Structures are given as structure tokens and as C-alpha cells.
Amino acid sequence: MTILVTGGAGYIGSHAVQRLLRDGVRVVSLDNEFRGHAKAMSLLAAAHPGRLTYVKGDILDSVLVRTLIDTHGIDAVMHFAAHAYVGESVQDPLTYYRNNVTGLGSVLEACEGAKKPVARFVFSSSCSTYGQPPAGMIPVREECPQDPVSPYGRTKLIGEWMLRDFAESRRVAGKPFACTFLRYFNVCGCDRSGLLGEDHAPETHLIPVVLQAALGQRPHVGLFGTDYPTPDGTCIRDYVHVEDLVDAHVRALGAMKDGQVRAYNVGIGKGYSVRQIIEAVRAVTKREIKVVEQARRPGDPPEVFNDPTLVTRELGWKPGMTDLHAIIDSAWRWMVTHPKGYAG
Ligand code: UDP
């Protein structure tokens, strides 16, 4: 089996590539290196000789994607390549629509146009597609109405629609296309072998931001909003370890049936507030962390965490790491040993 991983040099994509290589799968990884790291690919290629092909290129280049599919006889696609910052998507929505919506369309055109069309697809969706779930629908199940409150969430929901429409057209044409949407909650932590980490510039995700403050790389952490209708006034999220998340991808691919479209939430099923995360980082790192309370960040829903019943029942997925301190510790270890990220 050979899998095309788009965005394979990024944070989640590289962890997926690592898992697939460990499973003995051949991988073609495509990344434009906007936020991905060629170094992550060279480390993985060295650890798994002969099974990883890495190509620097853009998903918007449909001809390139189709050529990769044809050349390598791709059996399935895991599509990670996307922009994924809620705040940035509010400031620069067009970039999000171009990469996340047009980019997906470009990959699907390549899948359809290939000599042997790709008929298996795992799509990185997001709990952002739910927006703020209505009262009584938290923890969130897959049937919760999808009503995103940020451009990022909307691009992911449009991606799901595009894939459903595409799968339906393939079904009618007698060429079934199976697709699974994994709606990620807040992905965090790092490869516990210490090879791969999280290295974003700029970094905006909560856990790495707080870790950077602990490391002295930022003077403080801005706490975005303290007046939310939650017990301590700060937003509640579900933090899932990246290795558990990629395990859901492998399971999704294994469970796929011809022409079937499925959607699963991937989160551990427990919510933590921003203040709780900061406290947990203090406990793990034993460092001072200065917090500056700030205004709410546009596009942030107050409370979102998962009900993992469906993903557990149908894919047999359960988070291996549910201890918040252990999850944070995996990220902290990489950051301490790689204070400049992949650059050193
Ligand atoms: N957050 C914060 N300060 C930061 C980064 C994030 O207070 O420097 C908050 C953010 O407003 C949200 C939560 O932490 O309530 C998680 O944000 P993140 O960007 O990590 O993930 P998101 O839920 O937006 O995908």
C-alpha cells in the first residue's frame, strides 16, 4: 500500500507519516513548506530508509498531485495540508478559502483524473465546524448541528460538503469514492520517541505558547477572554495527543468501505479551561509563567469537548494518553531539547 500524505511535513502530517512508516506502509509526502519542515522529512527518511518519498510542492498544483498519484500508484490519500489558525482565518479569510477549499478541490481533481483514480480519502476536519454547540449538546456528538463561527471552521465544513458531493457523483458514475472526515479537537503533544515536534512560526496554539513562555521565549501568555460563561471564565477545549489522533487516521483507513462517507469526532472526551492548561504547564515545567488577561479572541466558542462514543464503537479508537500532564510533558521534552524547533 502507498499513501499520499498532503501536508506531510507539518505538525500533524509528519506524525502521520511517522506512524505509517512504522506500520510498514510506503508514503509519498507533499508539502509546500509554508509551515512544514523539510527537516522532519529527512529525519523520518533516515529512520525508515527507502519507504518515504518527500516532494516539496503545493496542493493547488493539481497536475503535480496527479503526477504523484500516477507515478507512485497511490492507493489512498490522507489530506492534512491546510491553514489551521482560527484567529488568522478571521484576519485573512481569503487565504483560508484558497488553501482549504480550493486546495482540497485541486487534490480531488487529481484523485479523479489519475490513471487509477484514488478511491480512499481521509480528510482532516475540525470541531470548529460545530461552532458553539447548543446547550445540551456538549459533549459534542457527530450529529450536533454544524454552525461554524470562524472562517477556518467554515472552510472545513465546506470541505466536508465538497467531499460528500464528490463521493455522490462518483457513486452515480459507478466509481465509488470512500471518505472519512475526522473532526479534530485540540491536537497537542509530540512524538514520544523525541524525533518529531511542534514547530510553528508564528505559534498561536495554547499549549506550545504557554510552553514557550515557560522556556522564556515569550515574556508572558495572553489569556484571551476571562468573561466566558464557564466555571473559571475561560474557554474550555478537548486536548488530544497527536499520536492518538494519527491512530484514528490509520483506523479510519482500515475500516473504510467502498463508497462510504463517514464522520468521526476525535477528542478524548474531557474539557480543560485555558486557566487549567496554564496551571498544568506550570506543574509540568516547574517554571514561572506570567499571564496577561486580554480581550476575547474573535471566533472562539466558549466550550467544546467531545463525546467519543461513535469513534470508539465504530473504529475501536480510544485515546492512549488521557493524562494532561503526560501530554504536556511530551511537548515540553521536545521543546527543551529543540529550543529553536527543527532549526536546532
Ligand atoms: N488561547 C489563549 N492564549 C493564547 C492562545 C490561545 O488564551 O496565546 C486560548 C484561545 O482563545 C482558546 C484556547 O486557548 O480559547 C485554545 O486556543 P488554540 O488556538 O490553542 O486552539 P483553537 O481552539 O482555537 O483551535
CATH code where residue 64 lies: 3.40.50.720
CA atoms of 15 and 10, how far apart (whole Å): 8
264 three-class SS: strand
- Of the residues 152, 228, 264, 272, which is catalytic? 152
128 three-class SS: helix
The answer to whether the CB of 328 is under 6 A from ligand 1 is: no
Does the annotation mark 152 as catalytic?
Answer: yes
- What radius of gyration do the chain's Cα atoms show? 19
Number of domains in the chain: 1
CA atoms of 138 and 264, how far apart (whole Å): 15
In terms of residue numbers, what domain contains 55?
2-206+233-272+281-343
Ligand 1 pocket, mutate which of 224, 236, 238, 328 (most atoms under 8 A from CB): 224
C-alpha 205 to ligand 1 mean position (Å): 6
Mean pLDDT of the chain: 97
Mean pLDDT of 297-309: 93
The answer to whether the CB of 221 is under 6 A from ligand 1 is: yes
Q: Which atom of ligand 1 is nearest to the CA of 234?
A: 15
The answer to whether the CB of 204 is under 6 A from ligand 1 is: yes
Q: Is residue 211 part of a domain?
A: no
C-alpha 257 to ligand 1 mean position (Å): 36
Q: What is the DSSP annotation of 136-160?
A: T--SB-TTS----SSHHHHHHHHHH
189 three-class SS: coil
Q: Is residue 150 part of a domain?
A: yes
Q: Is residue 223 part of a domain?
A: no
Does the pLDDT at position 344 exceed 80? Answer: no
Does the pLDDT at position 224 exceed 80? Answer: yes
Beta bridge partners of 183: 125, 265
% pLDDT > 90, the chain: 97
Task: Using the structure block, give the residue that is written with the C-alpha cell 506500520.
Answer: 23
Q: Which atom of ligand 1 is nearest to the CA of 126?
A: 25
> In this structure, how many other beta carbons lie within 10 angstroms of the beta carbon of residue 91?
12
Question: 55 with 41: CB under 8 angstroms?
Answer: no
291 three-class SS: strand
Q: Is residue 56 part of a domain?
A: yes
Helix H or strand E segment including 167? helix 151-172
Atom 1 of ligand 1: nearest residue by CA position: 206
Task: Print burial letters for 267-295: b (CB count within 10 Å at least 16), e (below 16).
Answer: bbbbbbbbbbbbebbeebbeeebebeeee
Q: pLDDT band for position 237 (50/70/90)?
A: very high
Q: Residue 299: what pLDDT?
A: 83
Q: Is residue 215 part of a domain?
A: no
The answer to whether the CB of 240 is under 6 A from ligand 1 is: no
Q: Is residue 222 part of a domain?
A: no
Mean pLDDT of 156-179: 98
Ligand 1 pocket, mutate which of 220, 274, 304 (most atoms under 8 A from CB): 274
Helix H or strand E segment including 276? helix 274-285
Distances (CA, A) of 68 to 133, 136, 290, 309: 40, 46, 48, 37
C-alpha 22 to ligand 1 mean position (Å): 32
Q: pLDDT band for position 120 (50/70/90)?
A: very high
User: Which are the contacts of 50, defined by CB distance < 8 A and separation ≥ 6?
Assistant: none
> In this structure, how many other beta carbons lie within 10 angstroms of the beta carbon of residue 305?
23
Nearest Cα neighbor of 322 from 260, 280, 286 is 280
C-alpha 86 to ligand 1 mean position (Å): 9
Atom 5 of ligand 1: nearest residue by CA position: 206
The answer to whether the CB of 297 is under 6 A from ligand 1 is: yes
Q: Is residue 51 part of a domain?
A: yes
Q: Which atom of ligand 1 is nearest to the CA of 221?
A: 8
Q: Residue 56: what pLDDT?
A: 98
Secondary structure letter of residue 293 according to DSSP = E
- Give the range among 256-265, 297-306, 324-333 with minimum mean pLDDT: 297-306
Q: Is residue 290 part of a domain?
A: yes
The pLDDT tens digits of the residues spanning 30-51 come to 999 999 999 999 999 999 999 9
The pLDDT tens digits of the residues spanning 162-173 come to 999 999 999 999
